[in-house]
Amino acid sequence: MEGTVQSTAQIQDQSIQYNVTLENDVWTFSPINFTLSCPSPTAKLITRGNMNLCMDVVQTSECINRPDAANACGNLGIPSTLMGIGSWDENEFVRVSAMNILNNQKTPITYSTLGIWLDGTRKSTCMPPAKKSPTCDGANEFDFWDPYCQSPVFQWRPSQPDGLTGSGSDADCLFFRVSNIPGDVAGVGDMP
């Protein structure tokens, strides 16, 4: 038996029409005229594999450390995990979003440089006194916890990551830095 039927589902006060098709003993559900969107107007809908996700850069009223940022993102639906950057398009989205926050600050103190915490913590085997090596060089110095971005794409800032070459023993987290200082380069680095 094969064929297609049409039905409607209620999802968060929205009626979604869809087709259900049976062909070669496989059921296929496909929405009709349905557009995915993110709840925040500043977020970007991204696709990683077969998963649709919303990526956003969120400003806080004060500086926070990486664990606080991960917990805040947990309140947005990603339990204690920060998103990684999975493509050059996502890298550009983070850069433009962060520059927009930097250039339109709504906090009592304004800054010329802004850092956005990212997924990635330094591997225990790549902590000082370890030295740069084929197994501790660049992105492979870090473990990644974003389940949808296990091979992140980074535009490193000059001389980054530098946790094994001079910034100190506690440069174990990744961040994306932007600045409105002339000549300063946007990109990813490591810091405490």
Query: Which pLDDT score is estimated for 44?
Result: 92
- Mean of the per-residue pLDDT values for the chain? 87
Residue-range definition of the domain harbouring residue 127? 55-191
Query: Which pLDDT score is estimated for 101?
Result: 92
User: Does the structure show a pLDDT above 90 at 62?
Assistant: no
The answer to whether residues 190 and 174 touch, using CB atoms and an 8 Å cutoff, is yes
Beta strand pairing status for 3-11 and 14-23?
A: antiparallel
More confident residue, 82 or 75: 82
Report if residue 35 sits inside a domain.
Answer: no
User: Does the structure show a pLDDT above 90 at 61?
Assistant: no
Quote the number of domains for the chain: 1
For range 136-147, the mean pLDDT: 92
For range 140-164, the mean pLDDT: 91
Report if residue 66 sits inside a domain.
Answer: yes
Report if residue 42 sits inside a domain.
Answer: no
pTM: 0.79
How far lies 89's CA from each of 9, 12, 51, 153, in Å? Answer: 33, 30, 16, 10
Give the CATH number of the domain where residue 143 resides: 3.10.100
Report if residue 187 sits inside a domain.
Answer: yes
More confident residue, 76 or 55: 55
Report if residue 21 sits inside a domain.
Answer: no
User: Does the structure show a pLDDT above 90 at 113?
Assistant: yes
More confident residue, 155 or 16: 155
Report if residue 29 sits inside a domain.
Answer: no
Q: What is the DSSP letter of 140?
A: G
Query: Which pLDDT score is estimated for 89?
Result: 95
For range 69-87, the mean pLDDT: 82
The pLDDT tens digits for 84-107 are 999 999 999 999 999 999 999 877
How far lies 75's CA from each of 14, 72, 125, in Å? Answer: 24, 5, 31
Report if residue 144 sits inside a domain.
Answer: yes
The answer to whether residues 8 and 16 touch, using CB atoms and an 8 Å cutoff, is yes
User: Does the structure show a pLDDT above 70 at 12?
Assistant: no
Q: Could you tell me the two tokens for 3?
A: 């064929």
For range 121-135, the mean pLDDT: 92
Report if residue 152 sits inside a domain.
Answer: yes
